Amino acid sequence: MPAPSFRAAATRVRVPATSANLGPGFDAFGLALGLYDDVVVRIADSGLYVDIAGEGADTLARDERHLVVRSMRAAFDRLGGQPRGLEVVCANRIPHGRGLGSSSAAIVAGITAARAVTVGGTELMDQAAVLALASEIEGHPDNVAACVLGGFTIAWTDEGHEGHDAHAVTLAPSTQVVPIVFVPANPVLTEVARGLLPPTVPHADAAANVGRAALLVEAITRRPELLLPATEDRLHQDYRTPAMPESATLVATLRAQGVAAVISGAGPTVLALTDAGTADKLLAEADPSWAAHRLELDLEGAAVLPLAP
């Protein structure tokens, strides 16, 4: 492959927050939400400059260890070579360590930005290749699929294949579905939440989740009145309760009120899928110890946008 050429103009990439699992769809389902990180990238003469505003500004590395930068480097390798220098400016709005896909957003932003600043990058790396690389870096495809594609996504991996082994389809959620997120003050590491999961589960629990996950596809796309039964889970949420007891209590409280509430991803954010009227009621009654937000559904996924004036 010949050495790539790079665009001189700065490029802006916008990536959405995501919620994975949605109850029964463990490591398979994802939903893109209207809360965004922005990354602006420019090819420089030399070196690396990283600036961060918003979430993680006080804690994230500003060097090659930054996840956006690492993802860009991986993408540049696939695209044929590294640029001589990089300037990366991140405006982060997605909370970190809360189960809203902040790491997936960083990964997808880096790959998308690298592709955008490379001349012919879209032809050299199609959307399937973006998803495959993002899944490879993240380790699983559920969040990155929703971040790349937008909407409601179903992701899977072909084990034993090299290259593009992560796949996903995207479906449009019903316009009647209104997401509410309840974000707690303290994070929970994904590694901690995953470490609480048992190596095996009862066959009856697995069978129950298969049925609910199948129902959720119908509920979230066409019949939102079925969301409460469709979001029942036996595979992961109860096992994670010791790491997030307050989140588990909130899920149980909301579900007792007829609201389809789940742990968002690995938690501890709680996601409620409801209608407009119920959303307003939940926001009005929300405990002030939680940051409660009504979000739009994102249907576009990762996007390259004009620079803001």
The model's pLDDT over 62-71, given as tens digits with 9 standing for 90+, comes to 999 999 999 9
101 is in an annotated binding site: yes
| pTM score above 0.85 | yes
Q: Are the CB atoms for 298 and 18 separated by under 8 Å?
A: no
Predicted local confidence at residue 3, as pLDDT: 85
Maximum alpha-carbon separation in the chain:
60
What does DSSP say about strands 85-92 and 47-54: parallel, antiparallel, or unpaired? parallel
Report the alpha-carbon angle 21-23-25, nearest 5: 45
Coil, strand, or helix at residue 20? Answer: strand
How far is the first Cα of the chain from the last one, in angstroms, to the nearest whole number?
37
Buried b (16+ CB within 10 A) or exposed e, 240-261: bbebbebbbebbeebbeeebbb
Predicted local confidence at residue 62, as pLDDT: 95
Distances (CA, A) of 274 to 98, 229, 249, 294: 20, 13, 18, 10
234 is in an annotated binding site: no
100 is in an annotated binding site: yes
103 is in an annotated binding site: yes
Predicted local confidence at residue 309, as pLDDT: 57
Tally of CA atoms within 13 A in the half-sphere of 109 that contains its CB: 30
Which stretches of the chain score pLDDT less than 70? 1, 160-164, 308-309
CA distance 107 to 128: 15
Predicted local confidence at residue 19, as pLDDT: 98
For residue 245, the surrounding DSSP H or E stretch is helix 245-256
Q: Is the peptide bond before 187 cis (omega within 30 degrees of 0)?
A: no
The model's pLDDT over 236-290, given as tens digits with 9 standing for 90+, comes to 999 999 999 999 999 999 999 999 999 999 999 999 999 999 999 999 999 999 9
Coil, strand, or helix at residue 21? Answer: coil
CA distance 298 to 31: 8
8 is in an annotated binding site: no
84 is in an annotated binding site: no
46 is in an annotated binding site: no
Coil, strand, or helix at residue 231? Answer: coil
> What sign for the dihedral angle of Cα 180, 186, 189, 195?
negative
Predicted local confidence at residue 73, as pLDDT: 98
